């Protein structure tokens, strides 16, 4: 089993076990609280509900029974300090369990952040390689997006638990997912601006680099909904290429620029 699989398995099992114990402790706290109120208000011990509550807390009260003497308030009302102390102890246990659940969730989230970071590094490397090869802007951006998702797809194919990896990725908090989106947007914006300057390109219709990057992000989010099926990678690459190609203004030839410059000089001489 790969280290990625081991981490996911341990995190998944630990989280489930902690939630089960946490649920059991919370139920015990509720029952202890009911038993405390029933004794405090002098409930009839022969009543069915009262008898069931007292019977249900017997196991939870076993370590605490007899620690303190109960305080008799009246003929029927009793302040059971042992019950009160048990509630406090179980309350601290529940708090510690909740902290442990959050800690395990943080470890799983860190594992997911590492996957996203590695995918982003693959995206940056693919973009630099395409730029060095003199590719067009459409080919560069398509190579970036393809490299990122291809890396994630390969990780899913290598792992024996693809569904667990996907579920953990999709269950990330909104803030974490938004940070991934913003990082990808910044990368695409920087790439568009850099390549446009280097190749003398322009976007048509007053479109900015940010607008084009967001259009690519919309296409990428659609691929997310397809649950990373490898068969859609080539389709995604074509979609990104079409979006970028459609956003580019027609290139002006050198001859037209020379003609315009000479015409300006001629008009100045005539004046």
Return the closest-CA partner of residue 156 out of 233, 104, 266, 102.
233
Domains and CATH numbers, the chain: 3-99 (no CATH), 109-251 (1.10.357)
| Residue 110 to residues 69, 107, 149, 218, 244, Cα–Cα distance (Å) | 49, 5, 19, 26, 33
Contact status, residue 51 vs residue 45, Cβ threshold 8 Å:
yes
- Encode pLDDT of 45-67 as tens digits: 889 999 999 999 999 999 998 88
The verdict on pTM exceeding 0.95 is no
- Kindly tell me if the per-residue pLDDT of 85 is higher than 90: yes
> In terms of DSSP bridges, do strands 78-79 and 71-72 run parallel, antiparallel, or are they unpaired?
antiparallel
Mean pLDDT of 182-186: 87
pLDDT classification of 263: cutoffs 50, 70, 90 = low
Mean pLDDT of 157-168: 57
Which pLDDT does position 13 carry in this prediction? 81
């Amino acid at each position: 089993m790969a280290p990625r699989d081991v981490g996911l398995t341990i995190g998944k099992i630990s989280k489930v076990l902690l939630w089960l114990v946490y649920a059991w402790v919370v139920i015990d706290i509720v029952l202890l609280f009911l038993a405390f109120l029933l004794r405090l208000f002098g409930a009839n011990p022969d009543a069915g509900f009262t008898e069931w509550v007292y019977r249900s807390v017997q196991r939870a009260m076993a370590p605490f029974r007899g620690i303190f003497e109960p305080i008799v308030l009246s003929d029927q009302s009793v302040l059971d300090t042992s019950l009160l102390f048990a509630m406090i102890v179980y309350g601290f246990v529940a708090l510690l369990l909740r902290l442990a659940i959050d800690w395990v969730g943080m470890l799983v989230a860190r594992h997911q952040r590492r996957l996203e970071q590695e995918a982003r590094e693959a995206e940056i490397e693919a973009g630099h390689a395409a730029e060095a090869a003199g590719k067009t802007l459409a080919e560069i951006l398509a190579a970036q997006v393809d490299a990122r998702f291809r890396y994630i797809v390969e990780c899913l194919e290598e792992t024996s638990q693809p569904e667990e990896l996907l579920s953990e990725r999709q269950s990330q908090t909104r803030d974490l997912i938004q940070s991934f989106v913003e990082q990808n947007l910044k990368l695409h914006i920087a790439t568009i601006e850099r390549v446009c300057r280097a190749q003398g390109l322009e976007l048509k219709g007053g479109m900015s680099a940010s607008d084009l990057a967001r259009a690519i992000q919309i296409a990428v989010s659609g691929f997310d909904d397809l649950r990373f099926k490898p068969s859609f990678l080539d389709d995604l690459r074509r979609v990104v290429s079409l979006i970028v190609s459609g956003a580019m203004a027609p290139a002006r030839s050198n001859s037209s620029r020379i003609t315009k410059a000479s015409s300006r000089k001629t008009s100045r001489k005539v004046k």
